[in-house]
Structure 1
Amino acid sequence: MRALVTGSAGLVGRHVSAELERRGWVVDRCDILSGWDALDVFRQGGNDCIQHYGLVVHAAASSPHRAAIDGEPQHFARNLQLDSAMFDWAVRTGQGRVLYLSSSAAYPVDLQSGQPQRRLNEYCDLDLDGWVPVDDGWYQMTPDANYGWTKFIGERLAEQARAAGLPVTVVRPFSGYGEDQAEDFPFRALVERARRREDPFVIWGDGNQVRDWIHIDDVVAGMLAVAESGTEEPVNLCTGVGWSMAELAHIACDLVGHKPRFEYLADKPAGVAYRVGDPARFHEHYKPTVTLAEGIARSLR
């Protein structure tokens, strides 16, 4: 049982590598930050010199946080290159199952205004042909910025690789978080501001942006459960429950006994208004166990 994890220095990569090792897998960790660029793996030549893996977890991506998504378009080409090279390599060398991390950013932004509130559904709300049905007809798919387009295209590549005989599992994580996440991501940024008792307490946007927060323990256990099932349907990794940025900040501040003045920065990247997943298909494989309050408390500890 040998696995390759790309992006192994990132939040998901670190935790899935550790969990696979705990389950008895031999894990090759591949990350550009540790000096092993995934593209070097994918560009190797003949099959005789290539390791064959029972599982390839493709978590590598270039700067998938809000500030980079909105303000650093150069990552688009890098992420497309990573995904296309990975699928080409996996098909060409006859790798085992690929676990491809897509994203909730692949869903159409028009469905995430919060008016009305709706939980994003794998069956109804994302069509890889590029069109989604609505009550009065059809409208064109528009994922969330270049990062969303990368994942949309990645899912199309996954379909083509599957048609070529490669077993592929596609999961769509929503707002994953954890105690060791970087402060580039909103959960950790807000929790650390509470820990430092910052006053004023800064929140990007108006604070009403709602996200489906899912702890990294549930992301990892859930994605591996989906992969083990062998399903060929994409699966949301989500809780189905939405919490706003302001609510998250208030919970963290309450837990440390901090009562700051909140300052909202409308000129900062805020993302869509309402992004919550439908967990029905996910629950066929796994049900999350870590509540948001528990996850915040863990991070503060």
Structure 2
Amino acid sequence: MKVLVTGGAGFIGSHIVDQLIADNLQVIVVDNLSTGRRHQVHSSAKFYPCDITSQELEVIFAQEKPDVVIHQAAQIDVRQSMLAPLQDAVVNIIGTLRLLECSIQHHVQKFIYASSAAVYGIPNASYIKETHQILPLSCYGISKYTPEQYIRVFSEQYGLNYSILRYANVYGERQELTGEGGVILSFVQKMLQNKPPHIFGDGLQTRDFIHVKDVASANVAALRSGNREVLNVATSQALSINDLVELLNEMMSVHIEPVYLPAREGDIRHSCLNNDRTKEVLQWEPQVSLHRGLLQTIHYVRNRMSIVSG
């Protein structure tokens, strides 16, 4: 099986590539390196420095003829999506459409799409199921949900198989200091420098943090199951930001009080996804505990900081 991974030089995509290679699959990586890093691409993967909105994409599909597309490339900055909604839409909507057109033209068997908890907006339940109402609060949420609808129509029109995976707040090694998951890296970095982490609001807001390797394994599981399904990829465990700081203090053997800043407009108070359907359909469940994931992340940030300072 040959798998094309967009954004395969990035945070989540590079971990997916690693797991695919470990499973002895052929892997093609397409990444424009706007946020991805070339050194993160596994040496056994074939790499194309290409933007998903580029005409060159069709040449790559014609040459490589992938069996499956795992689409991770995206504009992921929520605040940037509000400042520049057109650019956000070009990358997330038009880019996905270009991939869908290439997939149909070159007979791709399955399309696996990285969506987001941002599509749900403000939850009306403690644990958000896939059937929850869709009411995004940001342009990013809109631009992640709109491709879901295109994928569904392409499936009905052309028979394209798919899995849509809605991620909770992903964290772990290789992550940049952006996004909801990036709060963990931001806190760890500050606390390693003996600086207080900044909390927007009272810190009682909760998030569902899932380690990147568990997200990668869900994508790999979707190669062979989860057909025409929309699935939450999450731990179903809510953690408050205050508790996150307390846990990091304990694990790092420090005692650093956070600085509280005004809550940011548009931030969701509580977000925790129900993963029951995903566990059943993909025969998957998270393997990396929060404690182990945080330890690995602390180790990663410490090493990265020592390389930069050295």
The TM-score bracket by the shorter chain reads 0.7 to 0.9
**CA distance change for structure 1 residues 270 and 188 in 2, over 3 Å: closer, same or farther?**
farther
Gaps of 5+ in 2: 39-48, 300-310
Query: What are the Cα deviations for residues 39-86 of structure 1, in whole angstroms up to 9, with x where unaligned?
Result: 236753798x44211211100102x13443444433233211111111
User: Which one of 183, 187, 194 corresponds to residue 184 of structure 2?
Assistant: 187
User: Which one of 78, 93, 106 corresponds to residue 80 of structure 1?
Assistant: 93
Q: What residue number does 1:251 align with?
A: 247
Q: What residue number does 2:52 align with?
A: 38
User: Which one of 283, 296, 299 corresponds to residue 298 of structure 1?
Assistant: 296
**CA distance change for structure 1 residues 72 and 291 in 2, over 3 Å: closer, same or farther?**
farther
User: Which one of 178, 183, 202 corresponds to residue 172 of structure 2?
Assistant: 178
Matched, 1:111 2:111: no
Q: What residue number does 1:136 align with?
A: none
The answer on whether the counterparts of 1:212 and 1:238 sit within 8 Å (CA) in structure 2 is yes
The answer on whether the counterparts of 2:238 and 2:271 sit within 8 Å (CA) in structure 1 is yes
User: Which one of 120, 125, 128 corresponds to residue 120 of structure 1?
Assistant: 128
The answer on whether the counterparts of 1:52 and 1:93 sit within 8 Å (CA) in structure 2 is yes
Q: What residue number does 1:9 align with?
A: 9
Deviation larger for 175-184 or 15-24? 175-184
**CA distance change for structure 1 residues 60 and 233 in 2, over 3 Å: closer, same or farther?**
same
Matched, 1:275 2:268: no
Query: What are the Cα deviations for residues 184-212 of structure 1, in whole angstroms up to 9, with x where unaligned?
Result: 221211222222221x3322333222111
Report the 3-state secondary structure (helix = DSSP H, G, I; strand = E; otherwise coil) of the residue aligned with 2:53. Answer: helix
Sequence identity of aligned pairs in percent?
24
**CA distance change for structure 1 residues 42 and 243 in 2, over 3 Å: closer, same or farther?**
farther
Q: Cα RMSD between the aligned structures?
A: 2.1
**CA distance change for structure 1 residues 69 and 119 in 2, over 3 Å: closer, same or farther?**
farther
Report the 3-state secondary structure (helix = DSSP H, G, I; strand = E; otherwise coil) of the residue aligned with 1:20. Answer: helix
TM-superposed CA distance for 1:268, in Å, is: 4.3
**CA distance change for structure 1 residues 65 and 205 in 2, over 3 Å: closer, same or farther?**
farther
TM-superposed CA distance for 1:92, in Å, is: 2.1
Query: What are the Cα deviations for residues 73-112 of structure 1, in whole angstroms up to 9, with x where unaligned?
Result: 33233211111111121112211211111111111x2326
Report the 3-state secondary structure (helix = DSSP H, G, I; strand = E; otherwise coil) of the residue aligned with 1:102. Answer: strand
Rounded Cα–Cα distance in structure 2 between residues aligned with 1:150 and 1:46? 25
Q: What residue number does 1:68 align with?
A: 80
User: Which one of 135, 140, 146 corresponds to residue 147 of structure 1?
Assistant: 140
Amino acid of the residue matched to residue 284 of structure 2?
Y
Q: What residue number does 1:288 align with?
A: 286
Amino acid of the residue matched to residue 89 of structure 1?
C
- TM-score, normalization: structure 1? 0.85
Rounded Cα–Cα distance in structure 1 between residues aligned with 2:291 and 2:78? 23
Q: What residue number does 1:27 align with?
A: 27
